[in-house]
Amino acid sequence: MESQVRGGTRWKRFAVVMVPSVAATACIGIALAQGALAASFSVSGQSFKVSADKLVGTGFSQYGAIDSGYTLDGKKTAHPVAVSAFKSASITNMCQSVVTPNIPLLGSVSLTLKAGGGGTPVEAENLYIDVEDLSADATFKGIDIGVAGKDLSKGPGIKDGDSANPYGFAQQAESATLTDVKQTAWATTAGTFKLSGLKMSLSTGVKECY
């Protein structure tokens, strides 16, 4: 699903976010499942949860940055994040969930995206995840720790538009394998996202990936 670009549209009302028809949403989902679209998932002023059984990535890099956006009532926000970047990634049983609170007459509403099950993982190229909190079992190969941001060469580099310090702390590796992944993020973007077995659901109440 292609969502709003990082720090973009203000979600003043949930109905505005859900303006596209069911048919249009289905077309976007089919295009993503076929790898036809770049993807950006962010909710201005809100974090969301991402989980996966396994993520295998090549060309890994990580650096600090600041995500900016707007809250539901239009106030500016800024959040420090660790940006994890991969030239390519394979993700098994991926789940992404965001909860929008205080919807009139409904209360909280949860949006959940699931893909990469049934033996066919999600495939991504030039993947960036703006992480606030992460837990996983991780194995890195060919890792360099403490590399200045401007010297990142193994991953896809600092994303255009990121307010990252090119002389700040960073790390990189030839490859990274993460299992039992649970993370809170502010944005996920990819040059190409192929979401096999994509399922999107909306439900009332708080229903998150973990």
Which tens digits make up the pLDDT trace of 120-142?
Answer: 999 999 999 999 999 999 999 99
Q: In what helix (H) or strand (E) does residue 175 lie, and over which residues does it extend? A: strand 170-194
**Greater confidence, 38 or 26?**
38
- pLDDT per residue as tens digits for the range 181-197: 999 999 899 998 888 99
Q: Is residue 2 part of a domain?
A: no
pLDDT reported for residue 60: 98
Does any domain span residue 6? no
In a domain, 158, yes or no: yes
- The CA–CA distances, whole Å, from 148 to 57, 107, 174, 193, 197 equal 21, 45, 16, 28, 39
Give the domain extent around 158: 14-203
pLDDT value at position 32?
53
Query: What pLDDT is recorded for position 4?
Result: 42
Domain count, the chain: 1
Q: Which tokens sit at 103? A: 């919807």
- Encoded tokens for 208: 């998150």
- Give the pLDDT confidence score for residue 49 in this predicted structure: 95
CA dihedral 77, 81, 87, 90 (to 10 degrees): -100
Q: Among the listed ranges 22-36, 43-57, 98-112, 164-178, which one has the minimum average pLDDT value? A: 22-36
Taking residues 86-96, what's their average pLDDT? 96
Q: What is the pLDDT of residue 51?
A: 97
- The CB density around residue 68, as the number of other CB atoms within 10 Å, is 15
Mean pLDDT is lowest, of 4-8, 63-67, 145-149, 160-164, for 4-8
Residue 210 domain flag = no
Confidence of residue 36 (pLDDT cuts 50, 70, 90): very low
Distance CA 33, CA 197 (A): 7
pLDDT at 11 over 60: no
9 within a domain of the structure (yes/no): no
Position 88 in a domain: yes
Residue 8 located in a structural domain: no
pLDDT band at 26 (very low <50, low <70, confident <90, very high): very low
The reply to whether 3 falls in a domain is no
**Is residue 1 pLDDT above 70, yes or no?**
no
Strand partners, 43: 46
Task: Give the pLDDT of residue 39.
Answer: 65
How sure is the predictor about 78, in pLDDT bands with cuts at 50, 70 and 90? confident
204 residue type, one letter: T
Integer Cα distance of 173 and 176 in angstroms:
7
106 C-beta neighbours (distance < 10 Å), count? 12
